[in-house]
Amino acid sequence: MQYSVCNEGDDMKNLSLEEKREQFHEFFIIKHPIQVNIITMPETFSSPDVENLVEYMPHAFVIASEMSEIATKALRPLRVLGEHAEELAAFLDLQNRKIDLMMSFILQQQDDKEHQYQGIEFGGSGVKVISDTEMPLEQVVEIKVFLTEEACAIFAYAEVIDCKQVDDKYHVSLTFSSIREQDQDILVKASLHIQTQQLKKRAKPRLEDN
């Protein structure tokens, strides 16, 4: 793969560190354990434009995204038909779920143990991970986020915006510097879905007590 060279016109490069931190909090962030792969990029590397990001993505991520988009387009015409297409739409939803699970299995093969990090927070703007070593601020990284429970994974580039020592580890916050809109949507929906599940779990004991 050929790395791109730093470009003074890049949006993220023109932002101050404080502005990048503000950007990180523009989306809802949820505390939830996730598996993350992080590869540190050379100093001369600059995150590619979103339009060119697919050229850097592993093929499995490209295929998974295309299949998800096809499934969404196939269901869209049925939604407007109302009750007449409910059973067919439900059937296709089940088929799509099977495809999602299969693609999730394939994407899990992209999880490289050599580059694994434990994620503790995530959202549409970025992730927070636990690291054994300190990471320099504004370091550009290649990142893969695996959402096993949601049967999906995303590929993007990110920058380190915070690195705080906690006991003998470091909590590292990374904001996405190059991510496709559909992948950002996946993270937003996943974070909201997980939040809903967490709230239901908390409410269940109270309902049982009543």
Q: Please give the pLDDT value at position 5.
A: 34
| Exposure b/e, 163-191, CB count within 10 A at least 16 = b | beeeeeebbbbbbbbbbbeebbebbeebb
Q: Give the angle 187-193-196 at the CA atoms, nearest 5°.
A: 145
Q: Pick the closest to residue 159 from 172, 144, 181, 176 (CA basis).
A: 176
Counted domains in the chain? 1
Q: Does residue 29 contact residue 127 with C-beta atoms inside 8 Å?
A: no
28 within domain boundaries = no
Q: Pick the closest to residue 184 from 154, 152, 159 (CA basis).
A: 154
118 within domain boundaries = yes
Beta-strand pair 126-131/169-178: antiparallel
Q: Please give the pLDDT value at position 105.
A: 72
| Exposure b/e, 14-45, CB count within 10 A at least 16 = b | ebeeeebeebbeebebbebebbbbbeebeeeb
Note the pLDDT tens digit of each residue in 95-127.
766 766 776 777 777 888 999 999 999 999 999
16 within domain boundaries = no
Q: Please give the pLDDT value at position 121.
A: 96
Q: Please give the pLDDT value at position 127.
A: 97
Task: For residue 199, give the CATH number of its domain.
Answer: 2.40.10.220
11 within domain boundaries = no
Ranges of residues in the chain whose predicted pLDDT is under 70: 1-13, 68-85, 88-89, 92-93, 96-97, 99-100, 103, 204-210
186 within domain boundaries = yes
Give the residue numbers spanning the domain of 96.
Answer: 33-42+54-205
Note the pLDDT tens digit of each residue in 141-165.
999 999 887 778 899 999 999 999 9
5 within domain boundaries = no
151 within domain boundaries = yes
Q: Please give the pLDDT value at position 8.
A: 33
74 within domain boundaries = yes
Q: Please give the pLDDT value at position 204.
A: 67
* The pTM of the whole model exceeds 0.75: yes
